Chains A and B, each alone.
Chain A
């Protein structure tokens, strides 16, 4: 495994960033060019991350020094197998949601295309920078770039969105401030900000109070960003009231990168033995995750608004990912990361379907979805595939990630968590199968009669969802199945080489 230099990591970050600042100047005169230019920039990023993935898988991790200064004096970018998996996931998902948002934003936030796409591209550059960087303070900067553009994007929705965005601002800033405090404590003790350097210096300092306090602040701050129970208060409001493309984007990316940062710092900067024995944070995290899984699913069952239900379901699924990290063995880690990838695909597709339903019929309540499968066959098929994935039925990806999690819990001899995973999957049937039942259920007799009289005026009952919205949904739904069929490739190529040293296999 030899580390080599390449300029690709920085290009993946810069291309969206520069484009996003060209867009206001461009959008002044040529508004219609804003969408093609943004999609072109995202396509460039995705292509570059494919090239980077090929290089990392064939040769080894890629390093890049900003400004030519070597670490620990300079900022270094370090892309290993885990980071390149996240880069592929992020660039792919953001590209698809950007294609989807063309028509959807016209309807939900009219006349706001230039700010929307500028903020979107800044968000993408923040996300890609977050997973590639190897400097603790640079991570804070990218974290805040991501969060601030998220706050602004969430506020573009319908009326109540501004209040939810304000709550998100307050809570998200508290989380980031805690992260900054932890970087300050770690710097005061070690004198370095580079992750590889910290991993070298810290093992001698595990007894010092400053390191313990810094780590505690870090875990709380990241849990706020990740919406781990009990710090999830901002999530239902933000996901429900944001525009549909933004909900899909935020659900598929920002919470996932926060979980990635947790795994990165807990297992790569600090040794795994620190989190398990010296300062047993993994126990606390696993129990909070277990409560999140049960409570999130229960709250999702009682919701009548589709997007609110998906938001509470996200809280439960974050619990799965954190449980995988908190189990602190190889199987659990694999399950957590695999579930991160799967859930990004599934939840993103589910939110895109919710947006398509709002676009075509304007309805958001679940009990009004009767007979929807007749009017929107492809959309409801995508919903059903993703619902199967969330419940955990083979051959979708959700089944395999849950199998890894259960194996990890058995490896660690935590039988309670095995039970929690199984119970939560059963609860997922409760809230998802309900929606599927409504969609495929035929309507009552008098409803069919009224619809016959209305549709005789020539209103088409075929799918009215435009192609730019339909194709990303179908690609993501196909991706859910493909991730299941090829999960062996994902695990053996990306996750196995990245399992941190010190974690029992």
Chain B
């Protein structure tokens, strides 16, 4: 990967494409509870946007922005968000992961949204860290 110069077409197209891929990934995460999609699918799309950047720019510039430590922290944070919603339900008196007791107008929708976001963050972090490991091997 170090001694092949990426072509100019690849660089330009990838740079233009990556924001759209990320917006689409966020859209898939947010709309998981009422249309096809969800946390895992959106997380994979977000991770693939990082991989696209690595393909066109090389490993070092991307690792400066989204480092290995950040990927590991993302993995933990997402799961803690998911478990946190469950523990919040426990503390408010209902069963674990019972969204009906959360505050708000549509509590079940809110609970599912927070959980999908958590899953999305975890999956992004996990897949990006797997990718970095596979690439860091020389």
Contacts and interface: CB of A to CB of B under 8 A. Distances in A.
Contact of A18 (B69, B83, B95, B97): B83
Contact of A66 (B77, B79, B83, B96): B96
B99 interface: yes
Interface string A62-86: 0011111000000000000000000
B10 interface: no
Contacts of A66: 95-97
B96 A10 contact: yes
Contacts of A486: none
Given A18-B80, A21-B76, A24-B75, A67 B99 contact: yes
B86 interface: yes
Contacts of A25: 73, 76-77
Nearest to B95: A68
Interface string B60-83: 000000000100110111011001
A10 B72 CA distance: 26
Contact of A14 (B73, B96, B98): B96
A7 B69 contact: no
Nearest to A23: B76
A386 to B, nearest CB: 38
Q: Is the interface of A mostly helix, strand, loop or mixed?
A: helix
Nearest to B108: A67
B87 interface: yes
A29 to B, nearest CB: 11
B58 interface: no
Interface string A15-31: 00110011011001000
A31 B27 CA distance: 38
Q: Is the interface of B mostly helix, strand, loop or mixed?
A: helix
B49 to A, nearest CB: 24
B96 A7 contact: yes
A21 B97 CA distance: 18
B90 interface: yes
Nearest to B78: A21
Nearest to A118: B76
A64 B72 CA distance: 33
A68 B99 CA distance: 9
Contact of B95 (A17, A24, A28, A65): A65
B80 A67 contact: no
Determine the interface band of chain B, counting residues with CB < 8 A from chain A. 10 to 19
A233 to B, nearest CB: 28
B95 A14 contact: no
A21 B99 contact: no
B76 A24 contact: yes
Nearest to A26: B76
Given A24-B72, A24-B75, A18 B87 contact: yes
A67 B95 CA distance: 5
B83 A14 contact: yes
A17 B86 CA distance: 12
Q: Which of B80, B83, B96, B99 has the most CB of A within 10 A?
A: B96
A18 B69 CA distance: 19
B37 interface: no
B88 interface: no
B87 A68 contact: no
A67 B76 contact: no
B100 interface: yes
Contacts of A7: 90, 95-96
A67 B98 contact: yes
Contacts of A18: 80, 83, 87
Given A7-B90, A18-B87, A68 B76 contact: no
B76 A17 contact: no
B97 to A, nearest CB: 4
A22 B75 CA distance: 10
Given A7-B95, A10-B96, A67-B98, A28 B80 contact: no
A21 B83 contact: yes
Interface in A51-103: 64-68
Q: Which of A21, A22, A25, A65 has the most CB of B within 10 A?
A: A21
Contacts of B90: 7
Nearest to A64: B95
Contacts of A17: 83
B110 interface: no
Contacts of B86: 14
- Smallest CB-CB A-B distances: 8 pairs: A68-B98, A68-B95, A67-B97, A21-B79, A21-B76, A10-B96, A67-B98, A18-B83
30 contacts: A7-B90, A7-B96, A10-B95, A10-B96, A14-B83, A14-B86, A14-B87, A14-B96, A17-B83, A18-B80, A18-B87, A21-B75, A21-B79, A21-B80, A21-B83, A22-B80, A24-B75, A24-B76, A25-B73, A25-B76, A25-B77, A65-B95, A66-B96, A67-B95, A67-B97, A67-B98, A67-B99, A68-B95, A68-B98, A68-B100
Given A10-B95, A21-B75, A21-B80, 14 more contacts: A7-B90, A14-B86, A18-B87, A21-B83, A22-B76, A24-B72, A24-B73, A24-B75, A25-B76, A25-B77, A64-B95, A64-B96, A66-B95, A68-B94
